[in-house]
Amino acid sequence: MVENTIDKAVQQNINPKEITCLDFASGTGRFYFEAVEILKEKYNLTLQQIVANNLFAIDIDETALTVLRCKVISLFQKLNSEIINALATNIINRNALIPKATLLEENENSIDLTNDFQKVFTKGGFDVVFSNPPYCLLKVNKKAYEQQKLNGYYVNLQSKVQNEINFFRTSGVYQYSIEGMLNYYQLSIEMILRLTKTNGQIGIICPSSLFADLTSAKLRKHILTSHKLHFIRYYPEASRLFENVSQSTVIFYLQKNGKTDKIGIEMSENTFEIDFETIKNVFPSNFEIPLIDETGWNILSKISKQKKIKEIPFIRNRRGELDLTLFKPFITTKNTGWRLVRGNMISKNGVIDKNKEFVEIENFLNKKSDDFKTNDYNKERLICQQISNVDMQKRLKFVFSEKTDILGNSCNYIVSTRKEEDLKKMFFILNSELLNWRFKITSSNNHINNYELDELPIVDLDSFELSNFSDNETICELYGLTKAETNYILGNKKKKVETVFEYEHETV
């Protein structure tokens, strides 16, 4: 990563003798010393030149930086004043995420963007930044500090974290990394962009969620629309790129400013390019770049030409209407004729009536909108669980509810305001391997959210008859997939539609 980032800067006509490189969140200097070797062996710079003028490091951990400085000293047979001065001014102990102008009391060692790295910032910033920023949510783990609660440690830590959160959200320093639960790696990326010179080169290792999660959408869109993303190399969770890191990660290369056009993608031994226009067409809202290969992208491009659920005016996608907490007083064991369906009652073969709970319908309806009573109430609906384990092979499992079922908010449902046949066709489509594959690409947690279901592409329901359905291959055919693409989705097996499809034939 370090070599690629430096090489890209040199290709931009940066003189190697004048190049400035920052190891952001350096720790003990893994990347720093890689850069030393590259600049010395590949670009023929002297060790003193590199340490004094070309290489810089910043970290919040003074102990780690002491180790780094000692390792630098060990490279020299003899020290002089220039080297000693560089160890103090080019390798600095700072909180790089909180600039000094907006100092919090707890952060007396905040970075000073006027005086720190002065000779670099007077020229507009660093030519190269490389980093493996910390992957850490700004949230105190209550269980981890159970024993310390008595001595106030937990309270102090919680207060410190909350002060940081307030700063990041309200200071105006950050615009793109403050959505949802804050994570240091996203904040670091935004700060790295600030420290980098226009047209400077950046190389970063971080969680792959940057390119997939909804909480990363604002930062991801900023990267893609305001800068030039060169390349992404994916490492699945099993690759264990670093010790104690049990999540999928990426290495990506970025040029500050510029325009993203084609993005190089590497997964295992598969390398290909994808047009930014393709990403915008497939994922127009949040510009996701999921972990899929070239064939997967071709299929996505093809099926994304269909309307999404949210774009079909007669299809309603909603969460269950009975809030299990708010409307608890309306739940009874007395059979009122209106069964309460919870998510845990939904199986692949239909609704299992195991809870024996019902709803006091008149009291409940008094709390509901006319919209619900007109379009959803007392109608057959397609329902699924609101929670489905992210590691399950089959995430989407829709079954039919009875007209007299009231759905708890642990369920999602689909209903048509047009005709019953729409729902029967939707049943086949939503339970298909193709739609399950599409859903899993961008779903990164155990929830089946309505906004995720809204994004699913649905083939024109008027373009085929119910009698057309026979198996998963038929559905792939309706979406225009080739035989090779169909085999890709079905895992080279001619899978018959699962048991849930048989349930449909019994119901209709």
Pairing verdict, β 249-255 and 196-207: antiparallel
User: Please, which residues have CB within 8 angstroms of residue 436's CB and are 6 or more apart in sequence?
Assistant: 394, 395, 396
| Residue ranges of the chain assigned to CATH 3.40.50.150 | 2-256
8 Å CB contact between 292 and 441: yes
User: Please, which residues have CB within 8 angstroms of residue 249's CB and are 6 or more apart in sequence?
Assistant: 205, 206, 207, 208, 234, 235, 239, 241, 242
Which pLDDT band, with edges at 50, 70 and 90, does 498 fall under?
Answer: very low
Q: What is the pLDDT of residue 348?
A: 86
Which pLDDT band, with edges at 50, 70 and 90, does 494 fall under?
Answer: very low
| Residue ranges of the chain assigned to CATH 3.90.220.10 | 307-507
Q: Which of residues 312 and 161 earns the better pLDDT score?
A: 312
Return d(Cα 331, Cα 358) in angstroms, integer: 6
Closest CA to 416 of 367, 387, 458: 458
Per the listing, tokens 């999921």 go with 290
Report the interhelical angle of 294-303 vs 483-490 (nearest 10°). 110
What residues are paired with 319 via a beta bridge?
Answer: 412
Q: What is the pLDDT of the chain when averaged over all its residues?
A: 91
DSSP assigned state of 443: -
Q: Kindly report, residue by residue over 27-79, the tens digit of the pLDDT.
A: 999 999 999 999 999 999 999 999 999 999 999 999 999 999 999 999 999 99
The CATH number of the domain covering residues in 307-507:
3.90.220.10
Phi, psi of 368 (to 5 degrees): -105, 155
Return d(Cα 185, Cα 189) in angstroms, integer: 6
Pairing verdict, β 249-255 and 270-275: unpaired
* Percent of the residues in the chain that have a pLDDT greater than 90, as a whole number: 80
User: Please, which residues have CB within 8 angstroms of residue 472's CB and are 6 or more apart in sequence?
Assistant: 432, 433, 434, 489, 490, 495, 496, 497
pLDDT at 150 over 60: no
Q: Kindly report, residue by residue over 169-214, the tens digit of the pLDDT.
A: 999 999 999 998 999 999 999 999 999 999 999 999 999 999 988 8
Closest CA to 371 of 421, 417, 405: 417
Closest CA to 24 of 227, 144, 188: 188
Helix (H, G, I), strand (E, B) or coil at 255: strand
Q: What is the pLDDT of residue 146?
A: 57
User: Please, which residues have CB within 8 angstroms of residue 119's CB and are 6 or more apart in sequence?
Assistant: none
- Over range 225-251, report the average pLDDT: 81
Which pLDDT band, with edges at 50, 70 and 90, does 217 fall under?
Answer: very high
* Percent of the residues in the chain that have a pLDDT greater than 70, as a whole number: 91
Q: Is 426 exposed, middle or buried (0-12, 13-18, 19+ CB in 10 A)?
A: buried
Least trusted range by pLDDT, from 155-169, 250-264, 300-314:
155-169
User: Please, which residues have CB within 8 angstroms of residue 153's CB and are 6 or more apart in sequence?
Assistant: 145
Predicted TM-score (pTM) of the model is 0.85
Q: What is the pLDDT of residue 495?
A: 42
Q: What is the pLDDT of residue 396?
A: 96
Q: Kindly report, residue by residue over 366-425, the tens digit of the pLDDT.
A: 999 999 999 999 999 999 999 998 888 999 999 999 999 999 999 999 999 999 999 999
Q: Kindly report, residue by residue over 129-145, the tens digit of the pLDDT.
A: 999 999 988 887 666 55
2-256 fold = Rossmann fold (3.40.50)
Per the listing, tokens 């020229």 go with 123
Closest CA to 50 of 81, 72, 24: 72
**CB-CB neighbours of 283 under 10 Å:** 20
Task: Tokens for 469, please give them.
Answer: 């359905």
Which pLDDT band, with edges at 50, 70 and 90, does 245 fall under?
Answer: low
- Over range 483-498, report the average pLDDT: 73
Q: Kindly report, residue by residue over 81-138, the tens digit of the pLDDT.
A: 999 999 999 999 999 999 986 555 556 689 999 899 999 999 999 999 999 999 988 8
* Three-state SS letters, 230-274: EEEEEECHHHCCCCCCCCCEEEEEEECCCCCCEEEEEECCEEEEE
